[in-house]
């Protein structure tokens, strides 16, 4: 679906004339669709990308990988590096940070702090990472998340634009979050299975997604 | 990605029934919305462990045991003197070793203590007798303050929605308990989902 198609349907769902919306603007509808896609990608980690960065020590990667969500795999040349913790490295030697050699492991702390271990000097690493989608700006732009899930973006977007109204309108549409979270949970499960098969170092969360879906299932009217 | 807090607040204006940020409601001001964004980014740093940084505490000074922690410090991960990672110890542990531990000295400290000299300070043990070695902290830190004059904050893009919801929740809560409390409640619920996701991905509470 294109941004235009999604926005047209969203505005119709909100009771607006898509060609001349009154209460919900085109910009607000576009923002809601974009927010839905960003949240979907953040919760499911369904989009991935690969880039090469150079590191000579502690490296804040956000400036190098602006769409980074989490790292999935790190390579040094053909060699796959394995994730480690500070405690893992401290257990090897108190002087682990001075160890100079070809790297075998890496630290990834918080969102973006990267450091290979051992440190070979300033060299390049291939980082495969879960990425945020591009912002939908032109009417012809198509969401990057899998096509099966495009329609689910409307569920979140609808609730988001209802935040402007509150009251009965918001209450009527809040159960849509259950459908959105169910789609997130389903996509996350498929992504998780794929990442396990690929041996990636990070996977989409499981338990809290089930809890979140359950949270809004309790608000949905009995069918 | 560097998210722009001003853009996030402008995006929230329709949900708050406003045309411009300057058209502040009588219940809240523009600066209060920026503070809501700043508190939200602080929550992400504290509860999700989003930001970790390695910072110099400074070179060791002979005879000086206590040093100031880096600004915006939240929680320690490791400390290094020179290239060696030193062990952190509780005061009670060192007191059990020797009643004289605070006056013990050595060329290079082997331990650090965080629970004795107040929240902004770190102590080395033994007190260094040699100067010049680097003293580095690897720690969780707050993100830079978000304000009208400094609106940019580096976050994963999907957490832009966390800040957006925080602004709406803040505005609606300030309007009083009878005003759109369902909006602030739902915004809070959605924030909890995003915070749980961030904690799962980035390390969780310190």
- Of A25-39, A98-112, A143-157, A167-181, which gets the smallest average pLDDT? A167-181
The predicted pLDDT at position A218 comes to 64
Q: Which residue has the higher pLDDT, A157 or B181?
A: A157
Residue A221 confidence (pLDDT) above 60: no
| Among the ranges given (A11-15, A160-164, A203-207), the one the predictor scored with the smallest mean pLDDT | A203-207
Whether A15 shows a pLDDT value over 50: the answer reads yes
Look at residue A181 and tell me whether its pLDDT is greater than 60: yes
Say yes or no for a CB contact (<8 Å) between B201 and A35: no
Concatenated DSSP letters for B74-137?
EEEEEEEETTEEEEE--HHHHHHH-TTGGG-EESS--EEE-SSS-TTEEEEESEESS---EEEE
Given a cut of 80, is residue A30 above it in pLDDT? yes
Kindly tell me the number of DSSP H helices and DSSP E strands found in chain B: 5, 11
Contact B182 A166 (CB under 8 A): yes
So what's the pLDDT on residue A122?
85
What whole-number distance in Å separates Cα of residue A59 and Cα of residue A166?
A: 44
Which of A202, A39, A206, A40 is CA-nearest to residue A127?
A: A202
Q: Say what percent of chain B tops pLDDT 90.
A: 80
User: What pLDDT score does A207 carry?
Assistant: 77
Place of tokens 């830190």: B141
**C-alpha–C-alpha distance, residues B177 and B145, integer Å:** 29
The alpha carbon of residue B162 is apart from the nearest alpha carbon of chain A, in Å, by 10
Q: What is the pLDDT of residues B113-156, one digit of tens each?
A: 999 999 999 999 999 999 999 999 999 999 999 999 999 999 99
- In tens, the pLDDT along B76-109 reads 999 999 999 999 999 999 999 899 999 999 999 9
Nearest CA distance, A43 vs chain B (angstrom): 6
Give B142's Cβ-side CA count (13 Å radius).
15
The pLDDT value given to residue A121: 85
- Name which residue leads in pLDDT, A107 or A208: A107
pLDDT, one tens digit per residue, over A101-127 is 999 999 999 999 999 999 998 899 999
**ipTM for this model:** 0.94
- Cβ contacts (< 8 Å) between A94 and chain B: which residues? 84-86
Average pLDDT, chain A: 93
- Res B139: pLDDT: 97
Does pLDDT of A60 surpass 50?
Answer: yes
**Is residue A223 pLDDT above 50, yes or no?**
no
Average pLDDT, chain B: 92
B200–A58 C-beta distance less than 8 A: no
- Interface contact flag, B85 A70, Cβ < 8 Å: no
Nearest neighbour of A166 by CB, restricted to B52, B180, B196: B180
Q: Is A69 on the interface with B (CB under 8 A)?
A: yes
Interface test with A, best of B9, B14, B140, B169 (most A CBs within 10 A): B14
Average pLDDT over residues B185-198: 94
Model pLDDT, residue B19: 80
- Mean pLDDT confidence for B26-54: 92
| pLDDT value of position B160 | 97
> For residue A222, what pLDDT band results from cuts at 50, 70 and 90?
very low
From chain A, pick out residues whose CB is under 8 angstroms from the CB of B203: 109-110
């Amino acid at each position: 679906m294109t941004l235009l198609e999604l926005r047209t349907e969203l505005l119709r769902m909100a009771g607006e004339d898509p060609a001349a919306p009154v209460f919900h603007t085109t910009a607000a509808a576009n923002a809601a669709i974009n927010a839905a896609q960003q949240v979907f990608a953040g919760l499911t980690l369904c989009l991935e990308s690969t880039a090469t960065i150079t590191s000579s020590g502690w490296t804040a990667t956000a400036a190098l990988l602006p769409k980074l969500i989490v790292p999935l795999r790190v390579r040094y040349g053909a060699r796959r590096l394995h994730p480690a913790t500070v405690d893992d490295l401290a257990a090897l030697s108190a002087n682990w940070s001075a160890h100079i050699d070809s790297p075998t492991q890496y630290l990834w702390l918080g969102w973006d702090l990267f450091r290979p271990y051992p440190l070979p000097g300033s060299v390049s690493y291939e980082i495969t990472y879960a990425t945020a989608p591009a912002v939908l700006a032109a009417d012809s732009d198509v969401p990057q998340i899998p096509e099966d899930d495009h329609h689910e973006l409307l569920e979140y977007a609808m609730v988001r634009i209802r935040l402007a109204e509150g009251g009965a309108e918001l209450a009527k549409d809040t159960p849509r979050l259950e459908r959105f979270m169910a789609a997130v949970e389903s996509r996350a499960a498929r992504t998780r299975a794929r990442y396990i098969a690929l041996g990636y170092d990070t996977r989409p969360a499981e338990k809290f997604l089930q809890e979140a879906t359950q949270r809004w299932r309790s608000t949905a009217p009995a069918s | 990605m560097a998210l722009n807090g001003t853009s996030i607040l402008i995006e929230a204006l329709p949900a708050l029934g406003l045309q411009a940020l300057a058209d502040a409601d009588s219940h809240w001001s523009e600066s209060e919305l920026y503070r809501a964004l700043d508190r939200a980014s602080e929550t992400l740093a504290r509860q999700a462990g989003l930001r970790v940084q390695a910072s110099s505490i400074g070179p060791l000074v002979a005879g000086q045991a206590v040093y100031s922690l880096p600004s915006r410090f939240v929680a320690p991960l490791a400390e290094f003197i020179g290239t060696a990672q030193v062990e952190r110890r509780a005061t009670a542990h060192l007191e059990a070793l020797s009643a004289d531990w605070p006056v013990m000295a050595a060329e290079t400290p082997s331990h650090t203590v965080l629970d004795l000299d107040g929240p902004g300070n770190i102590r080395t043990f033994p007190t260094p007798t040699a100067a010049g070695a680097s003293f580095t902290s690897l720690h969780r830190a707050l993100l830079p303050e978000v304000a009208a004059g400094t609106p940019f904050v580096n976050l994963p893009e999907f957490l832009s929605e966390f800040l957006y919801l925080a602004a709406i929740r803040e505005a609606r809560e300030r309007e009083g308990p009878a005003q759109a409390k369902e909006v602030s409640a739902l915004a809070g619920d959605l924030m909890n989902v995003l915070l749980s996701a961030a904690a799962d991905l980035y390390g969780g509470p310190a």
